[in-house]
Structure 1
């Protein structure tokens, strides 16, 4: 029980640290770049509020317009066909893309089905090959004149 609490605490602290910015970082950060990075990572746009709260503690106001510009560019990359294929290959699904592209789920599902069909085909071929090897081994065993 204690161990699971420690693990949960570490995960929570790590997830918060991305948004916990110091005064210098709040003042010097490129909000457009941060938005781009968050978008490319598939994070939600609403996370900007966490940056705002963190920087507000240092009397710094983050530039939401620049952040949103970067975020919009990043989320387009995250939701690109190439990345959808990678997400499908890994079996992951992030509903964030569905918000900006109603075809995302269909694209994701179709790619995932195609990948699974390819895997089934490869495994079917492997099973067929192994059956052939087994038949050959049985034929050799039956032909063997053992004492």
Structure 2
């Protein structure tokens, strides 16, 4: 009786992990009509460094188009204002992510908020996975309560 329930719970959890949304990928067709400031805002909100423009440049090179670096950087700076906040640093930690090194002010406060979020994440992982991850939680056999 327990095995079918556990199996269906596992399948449900596996199916739900496929439902996460991803940001659409930038491709060569987007280069001609690109709003570089808006792309920069999104890149800044996601914590990308100034090197990100190089990947956009590489993609657009195939179409013979060069990105507007000034508009992109202006947008990225706007996006970084929402990325480099204590609330975002904490939420990133709660989801298990560390901040990237793009913020240039309040570093100590942001690091502290991110570490607090990471501690919450680690505690929730311990609660939800008391035997750890891996092959049956690190054991070569199932725990007694699965039989």
Per the alignment, residue 18 of structure 1 pairs with 25
Q: Is the 8 A contact 1:39 1:74 kept in 2?
A: yes
Q: How does 1:1-147 map to 2 (within 5 A)?
A: 18-22=25-29, 25-97=30-102, 99-101=103-105, 102-103=107-108, 104-109=110-115, 111-112=116-117, 115=120
Between Structure 1 and Structure 2, whose CA radius of gyration is higher?
1
Gaps of 5+ in 1: 1-16, 124-147
Q: Is the 8 A contact 1:38 1:71 kept in 2?
A: yes
Q: TM-score, normalised by structure 1?
A: 0.56
RMSD (Å) for aligned C-alpha atoms: 2.9
Find the residue that maps to 1:27 and give its secondary structure.
Answer: coil
Gaps of 5+ in 2: 1-23, 128-147
Q: Determine which structure has the larger helix proportion and give its number.
A: 1
Runs of 4+ in 1 over 6 A off after TM superposition: none
